[in-house]
A = this chain, B = another copy of it.
Amino acid sequence: MSSASSVIRVGLLGCGTVGGGVVQLLRAKATYLEARLGAPIEIASVLVRDPGKERVPELDRKKLTSNPDDVLGDASIDVVVEVMGGLEPARTLVTRALDAGRQVVTANKMLLAHHGAELLERAAARGVDLAFEGAVGGGIPVIRVLRDSLASDTIESISGIVNGTSNYVLTRMQKEGLSFDEVVKAAQALGYAEADPTLDVGGGDAAHKLAVLAMLAFGARLDGVKVPTEGIDTLEPLDHVFADRFGFVVKQLAVARDRGAAIELRVHPALIAKDAPLANINGVLNAIALEGRALGPCLLSGRGAGDMPTAVSVVADVVDVANARRSGASGRMTRAMKLTPRALAPMDDVETRYYFRFSVFDRPGVLAKITGALGERGVSIEQMVQQGRGTGDVPVDVVILTHESREASVQAALAAIAREGFVARPPRMIRVHG
User: Is A229 interfacial (CB-CB < 8 Å)?
Assistant: no
A150 and B32 contacting across the interface, CB-CB below 8 Å: yes
- A328-B308 Cα distance, complex, nearest whole Å: 32
B296 and A303 contacting across the interface, CB-CB below 8 Å: yes
Residues in chain B near residue A176, CB distance under 8 A: none
B150 and A141 contacting across the interface, CB-CB below 8 Å: no
If the complex has contacts A21-B294, A303-B295, are A311 and B277 also in contact, measured as CB distance less than 8 A? no
A316 and B152 contacting across the interface, CB-CB below 8 Å: yes
If the complex has contacts A29-B151, A312-B149, are A297 and B302 also in contact, measured as CB distance less than 8 A? yes
Residues in chain B near residue A316, CB distance under 8 A: 148-149, 151-152
Residues in chain B near residue A300, CB distance under 8 A: 298-301
User: Is A275 interfacial (CB-CB < 8 Å)?
Assistant: yes
A312 and B338 contacting across the interface, CB-CB below 8 Å: no
- A392-B319 Cα distance, complex, nearest whole Å: 70
Which residue of the partner chain, among B281, B302, B332, contacts A35 with CB atoms under 8 Å?
Answer: B332
| Min CB–CB distance A121 → chain B (angstroms) | 14
User: Is A172 interfacial (CB-CB < 8 Å)?
Assistant: no
User: Is A95 interfacial (CB-CB < 8 Å)?
Assistant: no
22 pairs, CB–CB < 8 Å, chain A vs chain B: A3-B328, A25-B153, A29-B151, A29-B152, A29-B153, A32-B336, A38-B329, A139-B292, A141-B141, A148-B319, A149-B316, A151-B319, A275-B282, A287-B299, A294-B308, A294-B311, A295-B308, A295-B309, A296-B303, A297-B301, A324-B327, A327-B329
